[in-house]
Structure 1
Amino acid sequence: MAADPKQSEALRQIQEAFESAQQKMSQLRKQVETHSALAQAKARSDLLQQEKERVMRELGEAVFKQVQKGRLELPSSFAPLLKAIDQVQLKVEAQTREISDLLQEGEEAAQRLKQKNTGAAHSGVATRTKKL
């Protein structure tokens, strides 16, 4: 039996569509792999940048401590940075005092409330019943 020309054409079109889909899937897979490799490289780069920033911060803190102790003298061009550090430190200390004051006020208010509640419970006077 000879194959029907319409059926042969349909099979050929299906085969072409299948091969085209396979090629597109292969291209897509390569793009995904490339994107994944780029994302991993970016993540590693970000981690290295964070590590560099941490080490630079530690270096700066170590140098600053040596300057404070008088063991290291920086050029005068660093004066604005040292002044900025002093100003930030003053702001930190003021903020710490403010937080401490707020905590103290909260503690005092809690103590007053506690005393008020304990005092009312032991007043010896019966509480008034509410009318509904």
Structure 2
Amino acid sequence: RIDEALNTKNSQKLEIDLLDLTQKEATTLETLGLISSMYGVFALLDHQTAALSTIADAVAAISCTAKEIVESNETRRLPKLPKLTKPQMAIRKRAFSMIEDVFERHGATALDTLIKLNHLKLLDGMLRLLQFLVFLARIIL
């Protein structure tokens, strides 16, 4: 369509009738004086048509190859279930109830109170001290 609208490469006249424009769009282009700048754009595109077509062919070949790979993998592919779906939640709940039953049989009770922040810091300090002592024991032995 661009080549048809340009008539010839040397002409500075662009035939608007050959482009798919409404009458309102054509009038707007003429009043704004964009016809001459459109000619420059079309001429630039015309000179780069070979490069653009080469790129377009390469992209088309890659997309066809990718499409074939995806289609061949569709038979092997199974949909991945999202985490925390109802079946997984039921399995998890049952597993936790079994673990809780074992602890209750052996006399353990659930802690309902939160650990205070200063106790948490104390426990963290004790853990670091224990790690340091293990490190020293490895060096000495």
- Smaller-chain TM-score range? under 0.3
Higher relative contact order, chain-length normalized (CA < 8 Å, sep 6+): 2
Q: Where is the helix percentage greater, Structure 1 or Structure 2? A: 1
Provide TM-score, normalisation by structure 1: 0.27
